[in-house]
Amino acid sequence: MISLMTVLGGLAAAGTFFAIGPERFWANWLVWSLMLLSVGLGALFLVALEHLCDARWSVPLRRTAERVSGLLVPACAALATALFSLKVLYPWARPEAAHIPAIAGKAAWLNIPFFSVRVLACVALWLLSWRVLAGSSAEQDLSCDAALSVRMRRFAPFFMAVMGLTTLVVSFDWVSSLEPEWYSDVMGVYLFAGSFLAGLAAVALAVCHLKGRGRLAELRFDHVYSLGGWLFAFTVFWSYIAFAQYMLMWYADLPEEVFWYAHRGHGAWRWVSLALAVTHFVIPFFALVPRDAKGDLDRLRWVAVLVLGAHFLDLYWLVFPVLGERPLFSWPELGFAAFFIGAALLWVRRSMKQGADMPVGDPFLEEGLAFKL
Amino acid sequence: MAERVFSVLGLFETPDALLAAVPRLKAKALGRLEAYTPYPVHGLEEAMGLRRSPLGGMVMVMGVLGTLTALLFQYWMNAVDYPLVTGGKDPSSWQAFVPIMFEVTVLFATFTAGLGMLLLLNKLPAFWHPFLDSEASKVATRDRFALAVEAEAGLLDAAAVSAALKAAGAASVETIPEPASARLVSINALLGLAAAGAAACVLAGAFMYWGIKLFPTLPPMSHMLAQPRLDAQMPSRFFRDSRGMRTPAEGAVARGGLPYPFDKDDQARGLANPLPRTEEVLRLGKKVFSNNCLICHGPLADGNPILTAAYGGKPANLQSKKFLDYPEGEIYHTIMRGKNAMPRLGDGFTEDERWAVIHYLRALQRAQHAKDSDL
């Protein structure tokens, strides 16, 4: 079923390239590469956060987060492939950019060789981090070696720096430079907030799915509640950052900044922006605000799906306005969604079939299972 | 009569011992259970069967109320009551309201959470609680865990409770007597309160003095005084004659003013008062007269005021025959150009004020020379 969806989606995606053109193909490709990347990085951030803070409550959940973070591998492949999109999507990569002073002034940073080096460096750092954090954990299942816990804990602060810097680079390179005259200092934080939120939603969805299948039986209300609490908190954090960025630009009303929002605030894009605010903040906020809701698996399942959808909408809203005045959404977008969702599900499902559902070799697993609110 | 018992209290060494004892005492149903622990003990709420706190709902309601308060308040102030265009934005722009809405939401919600928990739901502070007189209170804030069985409706079988607590593993048991009478607020507490209030007033006063008198004189606040604009009567190096104040260019007319063309009073004789004789106009005239004319011409306009002796001049008696018949146009001319010792005052008034004061003067004259038919 999922395989069929993936294959059909893949055909539609490939068809986009020839039937409609490379612009639409690469815009979709970029959105979905960033989607996979943000989910994978967000999940890995949750893993690293546990090691960094010496957290106990999330130890039983960690394997699920590690499995979701495996999406980093296809995400890195997709993002490296997206290097072919530079001349299609990015104005600074075209020869005429040299004659536009606002873009030519940024040529020291925005040039294809340096850009590619940055992308490959980020990819290397992400894969290394995933290898150390998820790999050591899997290794510990067999060896029960406490030294591996120490290794992961020592690596966690390094990953925090990697996460912060690479997210910043991704935000400048892949997102902001689609419209190279535009700039926003907080874009890195904005993407980080969305990324962690998407990672949390994916982990929550996976937990709900596994619990529904009778796996992760020892996971109690207290653990699920804490995960739901994170989801709730970062819904608010994302909204805070998103609004802060918008309000400062709206207030200052500088032509070189505000055109970015003006484009997204008029015509049909206005409704997309509104939908983003509703699906990314209003609905999840009120759905998760009651105490019981954060630990309710049924509630958490649909909120997680909604948040992932809203995160897709967020990335779509960041990338697609460069294609024109009207939001494009038709069979190519559905095809890409089918292909990437299907591929991601297959990828995660493969890892779900290997090894234990919890880090059974972790010396803190017992304490984690005994966690009470 | 033996003293009545408020509660019997057992001390436990560990939170686990306390948790284990709770269901055993609950099963015996000897009285109301209350636990005193130095920190929150996980699982105690469930073990004691405490009701779900209503605080969450209260916070939600107050938070939403805070959002709406801030929204409506700002909308009313900025868009309805006193619309000011700032930064070229529509005064009713919702974007500018959001930060305040967020802040007020948080303010209402946190105050509700904090004060609702302390005052409303836990009824704290309770300085006169009998537990505070017990020996156990000295260690239950440190490293012991106390479980009390409180009397319900004044009834408690102290011996049975004591035995039950010991059987449940209490290290020691203590009986807390009912206080002899409800303690009134002591005179010491009142004095303390008064002293604290006085100290707060002095402190607030000192802070206000600092904030208003001293703080503005310190940099960087004082930098606001150093501005490139010219103050009145100040010299300027910019102009060749080094005067800061400039005479208006030839033919310049002040905003809202009209040039007055006449030099002789008979030229102005033909001017007619354009204002109707309404109460509003007379009120305006009275205001102008009181603030400007009265000091020399006197409250009755009879040239007999307070200032005459000190001034040495002899202001005109406007109630004299000459001025009763004076044409209004000439009074207007006098206001505009002055007469004898009277300076020209007209530039300080608007057109309406000049004519209104003439109406008022006519009313004063009529009042002093009233005819029988006026009664």
At residue B272, the 3 state secondary structure works out as coil
Question: For B98, which of A243, A290, A373 is closest by C-beta distance?
Answer: A243
Among candidate residues B266, B349, B307, B10, the one with its CA nearest the CA of residue B149: B10
The size of the A-B interface in CB pairs under 8 A is 19
pLDDT of residue B3: 67
Please give the residue of chain B at the shortest CA–CA distance from A291.
B56
List beta partners, residue B150.
Answer: B7, B32
Q: What distance in Å separates residue A197's CA from the closest CA in chain B? A: 21
Please give the residue of chain A at the shortest CA–CA distance from B96.
A247
- Could you read off the pLDDT of A95-143 as tens digits, one per residue? 988 898 889 999 999 999 999 999 999 999 999 999 999 999 999 999 9
∠ CA A32-A34-A37 to the nearest 5 degrees? 110
Among candidate residues B48, B66, B46, B68, the one with its CA nearest the CA of residue B58: B66
Question: What whole-number distance in Å separates Cα of residue A77 and Cα of residue A62?
Answer: 24
**Average pLDDT over every residue of B339-350:** 86
Note whether A254 contacts B: Cβ–Cβ < 8 A. Answer: no
Question: For A253, which of B43, B88, B99 is closest by C-beta distance?
Answer: B88
Please give the residue of chain A at the shortest CA–CA distance from B54.
A291
- Element (DSSP H or E) covering residue A53: helix A22-53
| A30 band by pLDDT with thresholds 50, 70 and 90 | very high
Domains in chain B and their CATH numbers?
1-181 (no CATH), 265-374 (1.10.760.10)
Is residue A187 a contact partner of residue A171, using CB atoms and an 8 Å limit? Answer: yes
Main-chain phi, psi angles of A129, to 5 degrees: -60, -45
Question: What whole-number distance in Å separates Cα of residue B89 and Cα of residue B79?
Answer: 11
Please give the residue of chain B at the shortest CA–CA distance from A245.
B95
DSSP string, B288-345: HIIIIIHHHH-TTSSS--SSHHHH------TTSHHHHS--HHHHHHHHHH-BTTBPP-
At A23, list the tokens. Answer: 């612009």
Is residue B282 a contact partner of residue B288, using CB atoms and an 8 Å limit? Answer: no
Average pLDDT over chain A reads: 94
B96 contacts A251? CB cut-off 8 A: yes
A250 contacts B42? CB cut-off 8 A: no
| B246 band by pLDDT with thresholds 50, 70 and 90 | confident
Question: Is the model's pLDDT at B312 over the cut of 80?
Answer: no
Domain encompassing residue A37: 2-369
A243 contacts B42? CB cut-off 8 A: no
Question: What whole-number distance in Å separates Cα of residue B26 and Cα of residue A157?
Answer: 48
Q: A289: which chain B residues are within 8 Å (Cβ-Cβ)?
A: 60
A289 contacts B60? CB cut-off 8 A: yes
Share of chain B above pLDDT 90, in %: 40
Among candidate residues B290, B271, B268, the one with its CA nearest the CA of residue B364: B290
AA identity, residue A298: D
pLDDT of residue B1: 40
ipTM of the complex: 0.86
In 3-state terms chain B splits into helix, strand, coil percentages (rounded to 5) of 50, 10, 40
The pTM of the full predicted model, rounded to 2 decimals, is 0.74
Q: What distance in Å separates residue B91's CA from the closest CA in chain A? A: 12
Among candidate residues B89, B177, B85, the one with its CA nearest the CA of residue B133: B177
Please count the structural domains in chain A.
1
pLDDT of residue B228: 79
Question: What whole-number distance in Å separates Cα of residue B273 and Cα of residue B223?
Answer: 51
| B134 band by pLDDT with thresholds 50, 70 and 90 | confident
pLDDT of residue B251: 82
